[in-house]
Structure 1
Amino acid sequence: MKHPALEPLRLKNTMLPNRAVVAPMSRVSTHGDGVATSNMATYYADFARGGFGLIIGEGTYTDTRFSIGYARQPGLVNDAQEAGWAKVVDAVHRHGGHMIAQLMHAGALSQTLPEPAGPSAIQPLRRMMPEYGGSGPWPVPKAMTQDHIAEAVDGFADSALRAERAGFVGVEIHAANGYLIDQFLSASTNHRSDAYGGPLEQRVRLATETIEAVKKVVSPDFIVGIRLSQGKVNDFDYRWPGGADDARLLFDAVARAGADYIHLASEGKGWRHAAVLADGTSLTALARHRTGLPVIANGGLHDPEMARWILTEGHADLISLGTAALTNPDWPEKLRQNSPLVPFDHHMLSPMATIEAGWAWLAQSREGSR
């Protein structure tokens, strides 16, 4: 019997050949100019060649003032960066793939800016991530002014327009994992007293304004999704204080603003840890039933039986694979043929999480298996 992940799905006006999605993963692999490289084109085309129905690109910065999260991160803020991504998308298209650009503003979790900015001047928890070029504690960010917020929203809109010109079928607004929009959503990092702070109904404002700004500048058929999460890169165990009530408010708000899909990220510990509340409520199923939008589930879903259960039991419409896709860029083909999967090894991200480091690990692994 055909695995449900291999069934086609229409996402807005884009027909996907299956429900297997490559999750966005930061690869810090540009030459420092934010321009996508030929290696990046090969890397993303490999997923299309391997049969993934949809590929979501790595977090891409949207302005040069406060958005950049990592050294060697790609951007979409100038003509050279737009042209670089166009070559990547063209390589994906040549293998029958569809690609979405993830637009990301790091906010307080910038590992490269000397003076990052966030909703409030609160030092982030824990320490920077060495595999992405950081070391030591996070600096205390400056609190963003109204002008800074407007600039951030404009940056998302401008980058979305560039993404459409580059040939992407859509963009995903990164409102997860502890980055800027998620910082505004979280009461622990947002102590503002203006219209962007206070109760969750106001803290969600940056997310909804960003969706609305992007929708105004792109064409009607262009997909505008949003990624949300409870956990953060610096706090895997964070939970929405209001549980299902907070989830309903967030899902309703982003749907009203015009999101075309919701992607629920599971930071660090898998779907059951991050997307199931203490009372057993499935956040991904709640998002589907609450909004009627397509929902992407994430977190350890490379396991064929887990993926089957998620899709057949109504928890999600699509599944996204992160690290498992790095070792199995042909996961859909392996699923089709019932072939064994290659386990992920964190050494693939050492000494940094670059594409080249991953390729070196794969080459060494193949050599060792001979």
Structure 2
Amino acid sequence: MSSPLADAVKLPCGLVFPNRLSKAAMAELMAKTNHPNPKLLDAYESWAEGGWGCILTGNVQVDVDHMGSPFDPALHSEYTGKDEALLSEWKKYADACQKHGTPAIVQICHPGRQSFRVAGRRGIFGSTLAPSAVPMNIGNGWLESIVAAITWSQPREMTRADIERVIRQFVDTARLAADAGFAGVELHGAHGYLLDQFLNAKTNIRSDEYGGTPAKRARFVLEILAEIRKVVPADFCVGIKLNSADHNSATFEDTMAQIKLLVEAGIDFMEVSGGSYEDTRMMGYTSQTTPQAPKSERTAAREAYFLEFAKGVRQRHPKLILMLTGGFRSRAGAEAALKDNACDLIGIARPAAVDPKWPMKLLDESIPDDKVQLQLNKAPVPFFARWLPLYLVGAGAESTYYADQIQRFARGLHD
């Protein structure tokens, strides 16, 4: 009997993923000038040869002034469709990702208040943008307060003009991706970035049409989705990544109400992830300010970090295409999530940085299950940073370590 991982998945827009294994988004830290470059393309050509059902790019920032990292590709100015040099550059990126027919989805992002002082061209003293002027909080101690003040500038509540401009930037970036030949975009609404900040009542305390209720907090995202649909082909995929870690028993129904609005708006797929710089569980660390809820014994036996939340969404929206990302390290673990009907797509991040062709092993039935698994240890923390909060430094070390692994195989180096 063949593995369910080999099954094709058809999205509502008509796009077909040839199997259920998706290379999830990771920071590559390779776009030194914030443009796609040959080394970045080399990395994606390696993934294109790997047998993935879908390739999700790392963050592409919609505003070069507000970056998630200093080395992400970004939109530098308004895109009108007439910049042939820019379009040629991005066509090369799309072609590298899809060289062997695998659909590639561009993850588009605005970091909002999480933009580091050194990331983006607004200057280290320039304010960040946010739905509300809620500063970053990585802990209540004096050390955490100092680290936060050094790392992030004070956020500024977005005006209506700011909101309209950022919506246009998301739309322009999606249009550029479509014109370049990518198969779709994924709106990054997780990990504490700007869309997540609007959705979350902790960071969105507005009292206008963009805050105050779950539906109003979702309006910013819904307007971006609607405006993108107006400028891209009908078969162009528009997905979204959402946090499973933003809810508790008191806010769970608010989160479900927002997901219902996204489903009604025609989202093609939803990726379930979790964590932020304030809560680093997407890297396997948990902050002191937001402790991780205990898992049931049954869930602990599974690999996926966010399995229970995905199953809750599935119960309410059985036709929604769900991608579950975080923690998969073996064929058995990935198949278990599918057999539990928790998801349709398996998002794989860190193993893809270690072995860009891992799907070929997962799908090779001649290789037994116990031979198709990766044991990944925590990344080493630099000695000079060990006096900082472990959960914060550890998450940063993880991201940097796996970005380095991507850069190694892009240069043709293998351990």
What range describes the TM-score normalised by the shorter chain of this pair?
Answer: 0.7 to 0.9
Contact 1:181 1:207 in 2 (8 A): yes
Q: What is the CA-CA distance between 1:68 and the residue it aligns to?
A: 2.2
Q: Which residue does the alignment assign to 2:134?
A: 122
Structure with higher Rg: it is 2
Partners of 2:170 and 2:177 in 1: CA distance? 10
Contact 2:329 2:375 in 1 (8 A): no
Contact 1:271 1:297 in 2 (8 A): no
Residue-by-residue CA offset, 1:72-115 (whole Å, 9 max, x unaligned): 21014554554333212212322221100111011101012432
Residue-by-residue CA offset, 1:283-326 (whole Å, 9 max, x unaligned): 22333343322110111123221211111121000010111111
Q: Of residues 269, 286, 290 in structure 1, which corresponds to 2:316?
A: 290
Q: Of residues 186, 190, 212 in structure 2, which corresponds to 1:172?
A: 186
Q: Which residue does the alignment assign to 2:210?
A: 196
Q: What is the CA-CA distance between 1:25 and the residue it aligns to?
A: 1.1
Contact 1:262 1:287 in 2 (8 A): no
1:98 aligns with 2:99: no
Q: Which residue does the alignment assign to 2:225?
A: 211
Q: CA RMSD in A?
A: 3.2
Partners of 1:364 and 1:54 in 2: CA distance? 22
Give aligned pairs, total.
353
Contact 1:23 1:55 in 2 (8 A): yes
Flag the 1:315–1:270 CA change in 2: closer, same or farther, 3 A: farther
Flag the 1:60–1:137 CA change in 2: closer, same or farther, 3 A: same
Partners of 1:277 and 1:351 in 2: CA distance? 28
Contact 2:62 2:170 in 1 (8 A): yes
Partners of 2:345 and 2:249 in 1: CA distance? 27
Flag the 1:277–1:187 CA change in 2: closer, same or farther, 3 A: farther
Q: Of residues 148, 159, 163 in structure 1, which corresponds to 2:173?
A: 159
TM-score (norm 1): 0.85
Partners of 2:397 and 2:357 in 1: CA distance? 19
Partners of 2:250 and 2:23 in 1: CA distance? 30
TM-score (norm 2): 0.76
Q: Which residue does the alignment assign to 2:143?
A: none
Larger mean Cα displacement after TM superposition, 282-291 or 110-119:
282-291
Flag the 1:144–1:276 CA change in 2: closer, same or farther, 3 A: farther
Partners of 1:37 and 1:354 in 2: CA distance? 19
Partners of 2:294 and 2:49 in 1: CA distance? 30
Partners of 2:240 and 2:404 in 1: CA distance? 29
Partners of 1:4 and 1:357 in 2: CA distance? 29
Contact 1:327 1:342 in 2 (8 A): no
Q: Which residue does the alignment assign to 1:86?
A: 91
Partners of 2:413 and 2:42 in 1: CA distance? 20
Q: Which residue does the alignment assign to 2:69?
A: 70
Could you list the runs of 5+ residues in structure 2 that have no partner in the other structure? 121-125, 140-147, 285-291, 300-306, 381-395
Q: Of residues 213, 231, 234 in structure 2, which corresponds to 1:220?
A: 234
1:20 aligns with 2:46: no
